Amino acid sequence: MGNDSWRDDLRSCFAGIRLIEVCKHDTLLNFSHFCEFIAEPAFESLSEELKEVGLRTKYRRQKDESAAFEIGFPKSRRVQFSYVIMLPKNSVDLKLTLKVRGRKSESSPFEDTDLPFMQGTMPGDVLKLTKEDLVLDIVERYRDFMYRALTSPA
């Protein structure tokens, strides 16, 4: 070990910090692109279809944090089901998480389930998803929730 090894460690430390900051910035930019070009068009398409069967929907985006799609109870403005795609704080890649929330009746509490977003999709492939891929996932989650809600004993 030379007398200057700590200087090399210090340079390496700062290089690592810069790399993390660049990755975080790129991840936020990629999440924004995902929301704009995949999630929001998927939400719009699904909203149009659900309007045809009398369900109200709403979608919203919290900058740098999440994109959410909500489905209301029939003939009501109250939310029955939510599909929320979240970017964990300080993420260095698009390893997104999913929160599915639903309730059986307008007066019952929400049941939350936290899952990996689109299981099997690698962070580098998130921007390769199509709006149809996302719509299919939302429909599958909604169907599963509704079937459980309609067949559970309580």
Digit-coded pLDDT (tens) for 33-46: 999 999 999 999 99
- Contact of 121 with 38, CB cutoff 8 Å: no
Average pLDDT in the chain: 93
Confidence (pTM): 0.90
Among candidates 108, 79, 85, which has minimal Cα distance to 97?
85
Cα 127 to Cα 114: distance, rounded to the nearest angstrom: 21
Digit-coded pLDDT (tens) for 111-124: 999 999 999 999 99
pLDDT confidence bin for 75, thresholds 50/70/90:
confident
